[in-house]
Every structure is written in structure tokens, then in C-alpha cells.
Structure 1
Amino acid sequence: MTKHQIITSNSNRLDFIDSGSVNLIVTSPPYPMIEMWDDLFISQDSTIKKDFEEGNGYSSFLKMHALLNETWKECDRVLADHGFICINIGDATRTLGGEFQLYSNHSKIIEFFSSLGYSVMPDILWRKPSNSPNKFMGSGMYPAGAYVTYEHEYILIFRKGGKRTFKGKEKEYRQKSAYFWEERNVWFSDLWEVKGTSQVLNSSTARNRNASFPFEIPYRLVNMYSAENDTVLDPFCGLGTTNLACMAAHRNSIGVEIDEEIAKMARERLNISATELNKIINNRISAHLSFIASLPEEKKEKCYHNELHRFPVKTKQETAIYISTVSNLVYSDDLVTCEYI
């Protein structure tokens, strides 16, 4: 059984979460220097607006990251030793005071977590393919005036302390939570090509305030960096995509969203059926069976056998995998409880 909730709050104060009680944090914060989030930052520090008016972009950039750092400090407090933080962030380009430049959000976040003593793990480039014919910006065909248009974002990964050790029941959960050999080869690549998601929202305010990442991003990260029954936090949860990934992955989840309107939509989005969640789970199993079927006969013969699911797997570490399906969901106030088979 797992529990899932969306809490309306500013994530710079997570007093409702006990210190060291979270195993993994997966989030995509507001991106400093991206216009759609200007008002959010200005609402917390009015001097940012003055910097914009005076064309002082770098000062605005630093103040926005100072606001994010307050949340990162709280994340550090609630994260258990040896836990991971995965942050999806894009860099920004902007013209202020007549000057165009790049604002490197990912490097500021790396700098901050390094200062806290976190281990900086290899990051992932999330490439968001674009079919736009007008990708290239600047002075057209003439040299020395055009600039590269970004089609990627970063997934930064940090670990708090050394490797996590699993004992007793936790060791069993870890073995059940192993990923398939072919998933590992894709998920632990440094380049992910996953199409971005455009959200259809009923409110213009919410539309201007939200840019959720696609389900596949948190679903991979939750499976990669946590085990069954762990607790996952998303301090900038938006429409609750990380929570949904945790429901499908047999993890507990807490989502925090500052905007009550968006938080309400996220809670409605968690009102999902067991059938819908099981489609995600069964698609994962089907993909594995298709992979096994594609192997040449001599490689099939060398496969191991997973007794719980009664299908072949490539490695011995996969023989204890058990991907639970959802049997029932119970909704009460702001809490969703998932029961599994």
C-alpha cells in the first residue's frame, strides 16, 4: 500500500515533512529568466522587477536562484542520508538592456548542491525534438550574428552522502524493484529523446504558470533511484506528474504546489482509475516481452527465468523483479491510497 498527497504550500518551508523522511526528490522547478515564471519570482522578491526595468539581467538571475536555494535547503533537510535529488532544469536565453545572453541555470544549481557537500553524479541531457522550420535565430544567413537554439534541458542528479545500503526487508524491496536489462541500457544513457508535453488547462492563469514534464521522465527517475515503498517528494509538483509516476511504481509520494488552482487540478488528476495505472504497468511488461521475443534463439537460451512473472530475463539480478499491479484506490480528502496485488 502506498500513499499520495498534494499539499498547497511554498516549498521554501516544508515543516510538514519530517527531517530525513524522504528517499528521493524528483522535480522541475520554475526556470529563472524564463518569462512565464517572472511573476512567480517577483511575487517573492519585488526588487527583481526593478532589475528587469533597469536591464540588469544578471542581478535578477542571482536573486531568482537565491529564492530557489531556500527550497533546496529544505530538500536537503527532508532527504534521508544516501538519497538522491533529480532536477529537470533548462538554461535560459534572454535580451535585457539590449544585450542577448545565456543564463546558465544548471550550473548555478550544481554550484549550490556542491557547496552543500553533495556528490554530483553524471547528468542526463533531455533532448526535446522540434519539427519547427525556424529553429535558427539571429541574423539569418550572415555570420557573427546568429545563435544556437536550444532543444535540450538537463536532468541533474545529486547524491547525499555515500552509497545507500539495504538490509532486511529493504533488501527484498530493492531486489523486487530491479529494472530490466534493456531498460537499464536506455535509462542510464546520458541522452534521452522524449517528446515534451503540452498541458491542456482550463484556466489562463494556470496555463501561464505550469509547464509539466512528460510522465516518462519522472517514471524513469523514480524507478532508477528509489525502491518499492520509498517516499518521493516533488517540491514543485505542478499537475502532479511525479505523484502519478509513483502510484504506478509502488512508491509513496508528496507533491507541493504553491498555486492553489494548479494544486486543485493536480488532485483531480490523481483521481485516476486502477485500470489506467495498470495500462502503464502492463505496457512496461509488454515492452520487456517484446524485447525477449526479438532476441535470437541462442541468446534466448542463455536467459534466466523470473519465477514471479514466469518469463525470461537477461540477467540473474532480474529474477526477483516483481512489478505489482494496482488492485484498488481509496480517495479521502487530499490523500490517495493505492493497494497492490
Structure 2
Amino acid sequence: MRALKKNGSSKFIVITGPTASGKTQLSVALAEILNSEIISADSRQIYKYLDIGTAKPDPEEMKKVKHHLISILEPDQYFSAGEYQKMARKCLKEIFLKGEIPIVAGGSGLYISALVEGVFEGDYKDDAVRAQFKEIERERGSAHLFRILEKMDPETAMKIHSNDSKRIIRALEVCTISGRKMSDLTREKTKKCNYSPVYFGLLWERRELYNRINIRVEKMVEKGLFQEVRRILKMGFSPDLNSLDSVGYKEVLRYFNGELSEREAVELIKQNTRRYAKKQMIWFRKNPEIKWLPADSSVSFTKIAEKIAEEFIQK
């Protein structure tokens, strides 16, 4: 199927939504229908070896459809939203050149925003200011810094994980030096994508979504989540890596440190995943362009994919 054009600007599909909502299944079903490829918009699936805890597409799904930006970095490599923007836009262009419709799939609001809207590339830098925020982090933790950012620039805070201290400190640095919100500066100084996104998301009743989260966490444990974390550590990677400071990994690391029992770690993963899903939905609801498609326990991802394909073609 040839990529469609509108006003000289090619359109692509974005499948987004909270964790455990079925983005992978839906995007794979859609890619099969459109004979296309998927670009991941997940800030953790980009790392090698972090497979179970990030719910990467399984080997069968990867075999069915070509995926981009999954398992391309070592766990200790830093990867910015700006780098993601460049790589993802390159993937978009390459897929369009094949005459296909790109499908971007993932729940990282920061990465999707970087791809579509661009990222801030201003010169607001001050070592002394950055050092002050790093000291605050050492004394009171990244959660405290995140609360400060939420007050200074809630829009930017919604795009950053509450444990991502590097990006939190960078945003605080920009806000402090410029005296303005980083989100406002970003709108003024970034280059938008040359292609036009068409957004779709799966909308679950909260109780059902939380049940899916709980079931998925149990399946992760059965598949070997704890063994995966231990294997990563045995490879020589530090437990303090930013890539491991995320839901699913940080709780297992606390278990290894003797802070939690195994069952406590599992239940905490469920709790923190539910909280993360709630935070994601708050962010996604701010995007009026997302068309939410109702989903329940009887959902057929193939039927929903067919509906998306039909609607996309008609646009």
C-alpha cells in the first residue's frame, strides 16, 4: 500500500496509550495489514538485554514485522530525546521512501513529542546552577527535584519520567537560567517534523487496565524477570544505571539488596506500574488529536487494526 500524502506532507500513524494497553499487539496487527514497519517510541526498549521488564515484542512479533529502535544501545549508554528525534525521523524518511506507511508505537510522551514537535536545543547552560540541583538530588533524591519541576513547568514534567534525574536537572537548569518555562522555549526554538501524525490509542476502563497490568507483571516474573536483572548485573553493568532506574528493575534491585521480599517486590512493581499508567493517561488526555478506541476483555486487536487502517486511508 502506497503512503498517502496530504498537502505535500506524508502522514504516519502513531499508536500510543498507557502501559499494558495493547500497543504492541495492535501495532503488529496494523503493520501486517498495511505491510509496513514499526518505529518504537519506548525509552527503555531501546536498550539491549532489558527484554522482559520492558515488555519488548516477542521473537514471533519481531519476525512478523520489522521493528526499528529496539535493542540498539548498551544499558550504560546515555540516549537523549534529541538523539531519538534524529534517528526516528531518519526511520520515517526511509520507510516513506519504500512507499510504506510508518507506524510509531510506544508510550513515551517525551519521545513522541520529540519526534513530532522537536526538542529544545537552546544554549541555557550554567555549571554552577546544574551543580546546585545535583546537590539537591544527593540530599533529597530525584523525586524531590521532580516535584520542583512540576511546580516550575508542569508541561515539561509530564514528558519526563520522575526518576530521570538527568533530564529533570536539565529542565530545571533551563528554567532557572532563562526565567521561563522550558516548554514555552521548546515551542519557540524547535523544528517540527515534516510529516503529519495521525494518533490512535486504546481506551480501557481503569479497573480492566489495572487488571491487565497485574497479570502482565505476574507473567514477567514467570518468564524470568528476576533472572534477567541478575544476568545484567553479572555482565558487569552497574545497578545505578539510568536504564535500570525504572519500574520493574528498580524493585528487583531492592530485592537483591535485601530491602524487599520477592513478593513485596512483585506487588510494588504492580503498584508503581499502575501509577505510571495513570500518569501517562494524564499526559495523553492533553493531546486532543488522539482518537481513543474503546477496548475491553473481548478486544480483537485485528479488528481494531482493520478499523484504524480503513479510517487512515479515508483521511
Q: Into which bin does the TM-score normalised by the smaller protein fall? A: under 0.3
Bigger helix fraction: 2
TM normalised by structure 2 equals 0.25
TM-score for both structures, normalised by structure 1: 0.24
